[in-house]
């Protein structure tokens, strides 16, 4: 079966890996990337659509796909305020999900975060939990939510906190066992591989994928390790 996908956050750490995997996968005949600035990548299956993220409604035609991969995300520091952070991490994903649902998309795959909880006293975790809850209410055939821990990989932008966390993990990797395994950092490529893998399973319903569960997936193709 030929598949079509819409990708948000193609320039991000997980989104870039997701884009590469979707383009390499023979199951997908079309991959639409909503971007603020053109990608340097050219590929016969890739359709780039420059968007004003404040006016998603103008791009309804681009959301006529089977699956939506949402890898959008920022930090409060980069966004500049809690309100701006919420705009990127809640409003944009929710708006595009509503639009894609109306246009017939069947699956929505969302990158959330470890600790996401709409009742959390921590603002970041609360917003992540709220967007999860909002997605779960939309009438997609399937919603997959991925909750990775600290992401490992080379970002285009430098994030001091994440880089320090990566160094600390490498120095204490022997500690991340048993009850601590859910906090173990995870490769961004592994998260992307898991997203593509589960999209192709066509499992109806709401599915929550915790970080320690995502980590089972092969870095290259998203096949569960034995």
Give the catalytic positions in this structure.
124, 128
Tokens matching residue 42: 């050219």
Of residues 92, 136, 81, 112, the one with CA closest to residue 14: 112
Question: Among candidates 147, 144, 148, 146, which has minimal Cα distance to 205?
Answer: 144
Block residue for tokens 């066992």: 177
Dig out the tokens for 215 from the structure. 């980590």
Task: Kindly state the tokens that stand for 165.
Answer: 């966390």
* Distance separating alpha carbons of residues 122 and 142, to the nearest angstrom: 28
Residue 183 CB-half CA count within 13 A: 12
């Amino acid at each position: 079966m030929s598949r079509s996908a819409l990708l948000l956050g193609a320039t991000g750490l997980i989104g870039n890996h997701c884009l590469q995997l979707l383009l390499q996968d023979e199951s997908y005949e079309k991959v639409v990337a909503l971007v603020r600035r053109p990608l340097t990548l050219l590929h016969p299956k890739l359709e780039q659509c420059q968007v004003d993220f404040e006016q998603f409604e103008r791009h309804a035609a681009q959301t006529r796909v089977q699956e939506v991969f949402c890898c959008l995300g920022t930090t409060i520091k980069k966004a500049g305020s809690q309100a701006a952070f919420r705009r990127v991490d809640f409003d944009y994903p929710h708006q595009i999900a509503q639009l894609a649902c109306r246009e017939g998309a069947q699956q929505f795959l969302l990158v959330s975060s470890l600790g996401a909880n709409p009742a959390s006293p921590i603002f970041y975790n609360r917003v992540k939990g709220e967007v999860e809850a909002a997605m779960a209410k939309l009438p997609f055939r399937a919603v997959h939510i991925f909750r990775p821990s600290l992401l490992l990989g080379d970002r285009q932008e430098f994030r001091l906190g994440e880089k320090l966390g990566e160094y600390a993990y490498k120095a204490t990797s022997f500690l991340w066992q048993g009850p601590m395994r859910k906090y173990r950092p995870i490769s961004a490529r592994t998260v992307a591989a898991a997203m593509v893998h589960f999209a192709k399973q066509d499992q109806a319903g709401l599915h929550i994928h915790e970080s320690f569960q995502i980590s089972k997936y092969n870095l290259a193709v998203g096949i569960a390790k034995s």
